[in-house]
Amino acid sequence: MAITKSSIATTSFFEKLGQVFTLAYFATLDRVKKRKEYLKTIRELEKMSERDLSDIGFSRGEIKARALMSIYKINI
């Protein structure tokens, strides 16, 4: 007869704390990256002329809304 030992993997408080900080760190990096992309998109679109904007199908008043939809996938 073989004896098997079942062990339950437990994580210590400090391991869980490390995981929380790691997740928070990468979430913050993602937010910063998206914010930079959003601001860059707005800057580039604001440089365009009215005619160029109308060629791509929207007006100057829609720039921020279109940037939000593009970067954050938010429908306004």
pTM score, whole prediction: 0.74
Residues 62/54, Cβ–Cβ less than 8 Å: no
Tell me what pLDDT residue 6 has: 59
**Which of 41, 31, 33, 32 shows the shortest CA–CA distance to 68?**
41
* Per-domain residue ranges of the chain: 24-71
pLDDT tens sequence for the chain (76 residues)? 566 665 566 779 999 999 999 999 999 999 999 999 999 999 999 999 999 999 999 899 999 999 999 999 887 7
| Integer Cα distance of 45 and 42 in angstroms | 5
Tell me what pLDDT residue 4 has: 65
